[in-house]
Chain A
């Protein structure tokens, strides 16, 4: 398939691996930011193919994983108590809140619908004028334009029964928080290609400057990943710290200005709580007061008491790259995708679930069962 098979070409992969083996002379710790990249590394079996000197740690770029517990509780509450039509991306509905997941709420009779685009939620609002429709707007900068567009679309249609429960997070502040962590030992980053498709690459320049780390904007296919890792390793071996773009076939330096304009129209930057990490200043989007009528947080006066996370879960350390999933004492034991203790075990892009699905642990657990 065009633009896909070329980037999964075994020969090309072999060439990059060769080059990587020739380049790497010591151990380098590199973090891939995006959960999609983590998924790609394990799904294609890349981790074991690379030189042992490449130590990949898996970053916080899984929106489902970092969505705070009480926001899930809020979504469940809206679906169950306020009887709204709660629309969500698929992987969000399995994430357990403090009491239950949206999937369990659905099984209990709540109207929870899985959509692939927020614009579908607007259509549902049009065809159900007597019902409130809420879209659970989760994601990084990548999904923000479509979510914002749904608000503009609803406004244009004069809808008063559509709102979004926004939980948008931003990559650069999270990278700064990771580097500021005293235990941090990240020496290079693969920035998330899709995020940069929207935002461009310039907002990473201050990070390179301040923390003296190479940042390479990278795609998601095996060839992209290896290319991005090679570019990072070359910089590290040369003692450089630059911002580079591997994903040039998709990412323009200035990103997508039209999409950003839509984001800026509807959202403003705010402090945001990241599940497992805590509150990071200026690391999220919230709906601007001008669009309060479309903000489920404002429209439905819901106060959910903040529920405590499982004390056995080391999700925070995993999301910050301090620990690998299998270094958790609960991994594959009390914490599995069937009964996850923390969100990284739930979403297919979560580091723990990726390790679980594509590694030995899964089958070992079945053997014991």
Chain B
């Protein structure tokens, strides 16, 4: 299932978040060789201290993590602006309510292949992208800024996402890192569903043990 965790919920799911920071270390530091801060086997930066929203792909019990992404509003401090300021100061500083940045998007390929043997790593990425689109749409976000390595553009395209590259920065990892913008709308979601063949809704907002309940005053 795909859920969001916000700052007021962090304390309830320490295991999931710990695993996410470890996964980020495995993906961004070990695998992609990005110059990110690693402490005690976890990749965590100052933006994680600002109470961001995490989109997590986990099992129904919230025990196993398959993928994650960090979401922050562009009206606040953002990583992409800080990272790309040196190279493309002007072109990626988009600021508006409704435009959010998504960073540290990653998939635990091992966990996915264990529990979803039918999914290739590319399929897994597509699922995360569709869930991201559903999540953004649900919360009234209409545009996403995101960073990715050049070859990932193909993965976005494959998932039906028309991502516009706004700039790229060298010296962050072995490959340049691109910054791209894409639209979120019901039309885009339809196109993604068609491209990926994923028709069932993926995003379920929160773990079932804390399904929202209406405030009842009848008593």
Q: Do A and B come from one complex?
A: no
A: residues with CB less than 8 A from B are none
